[in-house]
Structure 1
Amino acid sequence: MSISPSNPTLQSVSQALSAAISKRTQFLANAKQNETDCYRIFHGTVEGINGLNIDRYGNAWLIQSFHQALTEDELSQITVQLTQESMLPVIYNDRSNKNSRVLNSLSDDNEVFATSEQQMQENGILFSSKLRHEGQDPLLFLDMRIGREYVKSHSQDRTVLNLFSYTCGIGTAAAVGGATRVVNIDFSSFALAAGKRNAQLNHVENVCEFIQSDAFPALRQLAGLKVGGRRNQKLPAYPKLSATQFDLVFLDPPRYAKSVFGIVDLINDYQSLFKPAMLTTKPGGTIVCCNNVAKVDRQTWFDSLVRCVEKQGRQVTQHVWLDCHEDFPSFDGNHPLKMVALTLS
């Protein structure tokens, strides 16, 4: 079984991985110097094998296939190449079925390792890691490194709101960067538990707050707006919050999600989240907006954000694009994950 429609040979898989590692020589040297042991070593969509990603997560290599499973020969060859680079355990998660759940079994030793808590570091910040757990994705999104770096360097003596926080990587970076208060909001108790662990690893738990809530009622309350829901939907209980503005707001919603409170739709209705998030941003503060949908045009999306700000009688006084690091290459310099930091009057 091949791993892409182009039916690559075992030799082409090996060559593509070798080329990717060679291109990262300086990156890998810098990562070691910067106390970073979590990064992408092979970004298949761009580097030759569509649907195959290979990452380092601390003391392990993680291979993930999203379109077709690796053959035993392909997995064996990749394992040899990775362990030549660094002698670490290799975990393979085949996620090629429709709902992206892990399909393949592991040996008993590898299963114990993959499901146990590990630690990794990024720019000296510690994060917990499990290569297999009750969710689908790894506990830290590596392409968001530039976002964590930006937040860390812009959080000194500031208050920070981290929306759709997942395992609170952004919030942890903010706290390590000197924030006075960090509020992490996510609907998943599992993700927030991992976030609490990350705060503890870095001794910043006294700065971080963790609120389990649907984003819509939390955001609307913080923005001083009425909490509503979709038509004919009875609203469940939700945490009560007071209207509050923050110096730095980080908005990183999923592509699409539906609840009784509203619909997250990054293609057709980013504004339903952006407007209340903007209202929770202090005058002179910054909101970092993320959109991970490849087909959303970068400039069109940015223009829509500016229009939304201006409709509220405010202005974007400065903006900075945050581009993914070189371990996440793109075809044309326009990565599917778009991040922009907007300073608002």
Structure 2
Amino acid sequence: MTQNLTHLLTRRAHLPAQGTTFYRGVHTTETDGLFALDVAGDAGILSLYADLSPQEEAELAQECAVAAHLGSVYLKRRPPEARHAANVDREWLSPPEPIWGEAQAEVTALENGVPFLIRPGADLSIGLFADARPVRQWVRQHAPTRVLNAFAYTCGFGVNAALGGSQVVKNVDLSRKVLNWGQGNYALSGLNAPDEDFLYGDVFDWFRRLANRGDTFDLVVLDPPSFARGKGGAWRAERDYARLATLAAEVTAPGGQMLTLLNHAGVSSAYLDRMVRLGLEDAERQGRAAHRLDAGEDFPEASHLKAVVWTLDT
């Protein structure tokens, strides 16, 4: 296995020279669905999609470390029911200590030259989703004056918008913890990060508040989870994305754009498009799919990521 891992990792050896030290080293399509390996600096994040014995887990982690020249490897167990088990079996799914090597609570890794804080042992989500790298780059290259970044997580889209020249960037998330993490990412790039640009609370509530104020944005980024629980009940992307698109359209300026993302294998691109169009109709807006963006080159073959830039009517 080690020899094969080395061969697979060689395919991405050019990325650090291009300013990217956070990337998918080995994808599930290259391991028959058994595992994936993300690389963040000299830390590895090993995601397992099948049951292995503790000895097998440790051996695989060591093989990954040797093949990728890593200082540590962290384990993420990802059974099909992980999204439901995360609240009760968090430490089993995502052990806080490395399975191999010395602990690294925080790693600063680069994405297209932009530094981000990665916390490999913090949770199943480590601070950034590598497959959306080209989408964040698009935001940086096309950053308009006013941007609303919904479901901001650690503000990767917000950082890129600000670096691209956007004058106003609002980041919205239900977690203060990840918004604080996002402010740390802003600081790494020397960006101003006033508290008023980091809006804590339910995204749907914030959309309504912003609409009531008459606030509009030239670009609204929608990057929701596929499933989540909140005070309003369970969010399911396959059921609720149209309602989200309606609220987003109401705060999108005339001629502005919406960037819709979803990482969900069970939702097709055509179905997501249909939900977005239904949402636009409910908002009495018209729009067209202007750009379709793919995952990075380190995500070969089919990717679960759908990313579409919609241009709305004037």
Global fold match (TM > 0.5): yes
Mapped contact 1:79–1:90 kept (Cα < 8 A):
no
Aligned length: 303
Distance 2:100 2:165 in 1: 40
- Amino acid corresponding to residue 114 of structure 1 in structure 2: Q
CA pair 216-312 structure 1, distance change in 2 beyond 3 A = closer
> Is 2:68 the counterpart of 1:61?
no
Aligned counterpart in structure 2 of residue 244 of structure 1, from 212, 215, 218: 215
> Is 2:30 the counterpart of 1:40?
no
- What is the CA distance between 1:249 and its match in structure 2? 0.7
For structure 2, the 5+ residue unaligned runs are: none
> Is 2:305 the counterpart of 1:337?
yes
> Is 2:304 the counterpart of 1:321?
no
Residue 271 of structure 2 is matched in structure 1 by: 300
Distance 1:41 1:154 in 2: 28
CA pair 307-253 structure 1, distance change in 2 beyond 3 A = same
Distance 2:251 2:219 in 1: 9
- What is the CA distance between 1:340 and its match in structure 2? 0.5
Residue 185 of structure 2 is matched in structure 1 by: 198
CA pair 81-318 structure 1, distance change in 2 beyond 3 A = closer
After TM superposition, the score normalised by the length of structure 2 is: 0.86
- Amino acid corresponding to residue 248 of structure 1 in structure 2: L
- Amino acid corresponding to residue 142 of structure 1 in structure 2: A
Distance 1:301 1:314 in 2: 17
Q: Specify the SS of the correspondent of 1:269.
A: helix
Aligned counterpart in structure 2 of residue 221 of structure 1, from 201, 205, 209: 209
> Residue deviations 1:102-133, cap 9 Å, x none?
4357479956x332x22111111111121112
> Residue deviations 1:270-292, cap 9 Å, x none?
11111011111111111100122
Mapped contact 2:5–2:67 kept (Cα < 8 A):
no
> Is 2:137 the counterpart of 1:149?
yes
CA pair 16-108 structure 1, distance change in 2 beyond 3 A = closer
Aligned counterpart in structure 1 of residue 112 of structure 2, from 110, 123, 129: 123
Residue 237 of structure 1 is matched in structure 2 by: none
Distance 1:84 1:259 in 2: 41
> Residue deviations 1:183-237, cap 9 Å, x none?
001011111111010001111124781111111111122233xxxxxxxxxxxxx
> Residue deviations 1:65-121, cap 9 Å, x none?
243236535643553454344x3312131425652534357479956x332x22111
- Amino acid corresponding to residue 145 of structure 1 in structure 2: R
Distance 1:33 1:192 in 2: 30
CA pair 60-309 structure 1, distance change in 2 beyond 3 A = same
Q: Specify the SS of the correspondent of 2:219.
A: strand
> Is 2:273 the counterpart of 1:290?
no
Residues 257-272 of structure 1: pairs in structure 2 closer than 5 A = 257-261=228-232, 263-272=234-243
% identical aligned pairs: 30
Distance 1:106 1:70 in 2: 18
CA pair 257-49 structure 1, distance change in 2 beyond 3 A = same
After TM superposition, the score normalised by the length of structure 1 is: 0.79
Mapped contact 1:69–1:94 kept (Cα < 8 A):
no
> Is 2:184 the counterpart of 1:189?
no
How well do the aligned residues superpose, as a CA RMSD in angstroms? 2.6
Aligned counterpart in structure 2 of residue 88 of structure 1, from 59, 70, 82: 70
Aligned counterpart in structure 2 of residue 164 of structure 1, from 140, 146, 151: 151
Distance 2:272 2:304 in 1: 12
Mapped contact 2:110–2:116 kept (Cα < 8 A):
yes
Distance 1:319 1:253 in 2: 20
CA pair 311-138 structure 1, distance change in 2 beyond 3 A = same
Residue 246 of structure 2 is matched in structure 1 by: 275
For structure 1, the 5+ residue unaligned runs are: 1-12, 225-241
Mapped contact 2:289–2:308 kept (Cα < 8 A):
no
Aligned counterpart in structure 1 of residue 13 of structure 2, from 28, 32, 42: 28
Distance 2:225 2:19 in 1: 29
Residue 230 of structure 1 is matched in structure 2 by: none
